[in-house]
Structure 1
């Protein structure tokens, strides 16, 4: 009975740790789930360490039945989102549950009530903690592990969320292109397109220099993270604060490859950027972090497997400032990142996530021979 389900907020480090460790119960027999490092998740939810909490707030909840944890959820108040989009939207994330609608409903009730008490009119998700972090519910493409920084979930989550009353707000597409297809397209298009673009627009495209990281962070900020950046008109996009951007760069530089980070400049100023990340999810899953194994041992295994198992790349960003669009730069960025993967012997690459409504970018990606192979969904629930 639903009365036997008790939902409570996590208020202590021990309770937050229990929240995080519950994932291993849900996915213990799943062949595709990629477990996170426990220390990374602890830091992610730590309000003293994650700069998201310098402007916004969240509450972690667990559902228990007969004293045993059976589900988790995070209720989120993203003040920067609401200020930037002039909305009153609350978010949920961290949603994990056994296959039981009563448990799911109790969790959604808790998240709904928490954000509603703070004046929100819509509950949206999943997005933990924002759309700049992992977001979206996998609704199609369950037959392979997720790429780096992409989400994964059991199929039954779709039914639980929709049964509660959530409806689709936006689909996010993940495109895949094999190395064989990319080779053919690159051979036909890249050099000709690159010469044409750079000649017409007087642009230069260079790889990132990690020895001058502060300069590269400023380029990223100018094109992606500022309020006037290339993504400012995208649905759901919220510019990062300087602290958030520095935090992301610090976390990603540990496994980023400068060959996959491209900066487009015009008259010495950054006007476009492309970033791809080696898919470290394969070696991470092989190392299989878990609460019962010392993390130093997991990290040693990860480093060992990383040298042998990384064989694909995820393109996470490719865009230019508005005044430089329709010039072919985006296509050059996409093709050059794929070319770098081919040079390294990778089997292919994922381009994600792309809004289903981003016709211009989806058209460019289709032209390099990619196909949509996974769909992630953001849901809305009116609560006003």
Structure 2
């Protein structure tokens, strides 16, 4: 018999975080999330919880955990989109429709008090964090901050009445396959931008807090028309930036500046999943911290996470300069692979730009929805 238990203490929270490690213990492509990072995200001290709510549930069969899920009410999302949606996230389960139905019912019951009419997910807690299920290419580990799941997740969700909301694409470059035209034209683009008093430069880590606040304003404006987008609060953006700073290469974190005003930014990070895949159950202690620190210089792949420019400055060459600079750094560090992710399937401009650089779609992800 399956029993659903809410997470209400440290012991059950630990079980919630650790369940995927047991579920995927025999899967060579699974990358464990760091325990401390997950505990921080789920803690009420995380900035998300200052404006919204989440409730976590575990499914037990006897004494064994067989599934987990979170019900999420993102008030900022509903206010921004003028909707009344709920989310589910942190979704992991054995291949059992009974478990899934019971978990989803618990989320719907919890969300019913807020009178939501649509359930979206998986999102942990929004599209600003890890979201969606993998639907194509289960044969390779995920890149940093991207999801991974068994193929049966999608079947279980569809059998539970969920339908596609949107698909997200991951593009791939290899060391010898990307089109170097953008790199060759970089100098010409920079001169054209300079004639308009626009410069592209690395982020200044000496003024990191100030730079982050300016970049957050660009982020919330440049992505505001993307499906599923919700603006990040200053505290949320600062919190994310603080975590990324530990692995940040300034040459991969670029800003475009017009007469002192930041009008665009591009961000890539080393694919730390190359290291995390070998850190058992996401524990940094006692030996994981050494694997992490010693492995950083051995990373040979990079994930391009974000590239955004304020609308009035688009199609001027800023985006091309971002990509060209990142590809130069990619080559300088002798990287083997780059992933640009994720891209909305209907973002034709970005998809075309990537395809013109010989990038190819190699993974697809899906966010589901269901009326409730």
1:1-45: per-residue Cα shift (whole Å, max 9, x none)?
xxx211121111111111111111111011111101112111110
Deviation at 1:365, TM superposition (A): 1.4
Alignment-derived partner of residue 277 in structure 1: 269
Aligned to 2:172: 176
Partner of 2:121: 125
- 1:362 alignment partner in structure 2: 351
1:380: Cα distance to partner?
0.2
Asked if 1:295 is matched to 2:285, the reply is yes
Aligned residue among 205, 212, 215 for 2:210 = 215
- What number of residue pairs does the alignment pair up? 372
Aligned-residue offset at 1:194: 3.4
> Do residues 39 (structure 1) and 31 (structure 2) align?
no
TM-aligned CA deviation for residue 117 of structure 1: 2.5
8 Å CA contact 1:134, 1:150 repeated in 2: yes
CA distance in 2, matches of 1:5, 1:346: 47
- Pick the aligned partner of 1:192 from 165, 188, 193: 188
Assess if the C-alpha contact under 8 Å between 1:125 and 1:136 holds in 2: yes
The question of whether the paired residues in 2 share the 8 Å contact of 1:186 and 1:339 is answered with: no
CA RMSD, 1 decimal: 1.5
| Cα 1:184/1:294, change in 2 over 3 Å | closer
Equivalent residue runs for 1:258-337 within 5 Å: 258-286=250-278, 288-290=279-281, 295-308=285-298, 310-337=299-326
The structural deviation recorded for 1:331 is 2.0
Q: Describe the shift of the 1:80–1:74 C-alpha distance in structure 2 as closer, same or farther (beyond 3 A).
A: same
**Corresponding residue of 1:155:** 151
Q: Name the residue aligned to 1:15.
A: 12
Equivalent residue of 1:135, what SS?
A: coil
Whether the 8 Å CA contact 1:284–1:302 is kept in 2: the answer is: yes
- Displacement of 1:183 in angstroms is 5.8
Contact 1:176–1:372 (CA under 8 A) maintained in structure 2: yes
| Residue of 126, 131, 134 corresponding to 1:135 | 131
Q: Deviations over 1:142-187 (max 9, x none)?
A: 1111111111001111111111010000011111111212363345
Q: Secondary structure at the match of 1:295?
A: coil
Query: What is aligned with 1:235?
Result: 227
Q: Work out whether residues 115 and 123 of structure 1, in 8 Å CA contact, stay in contact via their aligned partners in 2.
A: no
- Native 8 Å contact 1:8 1:62 kept in 2: yes
Greater Cα shift, 369-378 or 325-334: 325-334
The answer as to whether partners of 1:5 and 1:63 remain within 8 angstroms in 2 is yes
2:183–2:328 Cα contact (<8 Å) kept = no
Q: State the partner residue of 2:98.
A: 102
Given that residues 205 and 265 in structure 1 are in contact (C-alpha distance below 8 angstroms), is that contact kept between their aligned partners in structure 2?
yes
- SS class of match (1:104): helix
User: Which structure 2 residue ranges, 5 or more long, are not aligned?
Assistant: none
Give the C-alpha shift of residue 285 in structure 1: 1.0
Residue 365 of structure 2 corresponds to 376
Residue 191 and residue 90 in structure 1: after superposition, are their counterparts in 2 closer, same or farther (change >3 A)? same
What's the secondary structure of 1:180's corresponding residue? coil
For 2:194 and 2:322, the matched residues in 1 are separated by 12
Q: Distance in 2 between matches of 1:36 and 1:267?
A: 41
Distance 1:189 1:217 in 2: 29
Partner Cα distance (1:370, 1:191) in 2: 22
Contact 2:200 2:318 in 1 (8 A): no
Residue number among 230, 245, 251 corresponding to 2:237 in the alignment: 245
C-alpha displacement of 1:294: 6.3
Conservation of the 8 A alpha-carbon contact between 1:37 and 1:295? no
Q: TM-score under structure 1 normalisation?
A: 0.93
Q: Deviations over 1:55-84 (max 9, x none)?
A: 000000001112321100000000000000
Work out the CA distance in 2 between the residues paired with 1:335 and 1:89: 39
SS at match of 1:25: helix
Task: Provide TM-score, normalisation by structure 2.
Answer: 0.96
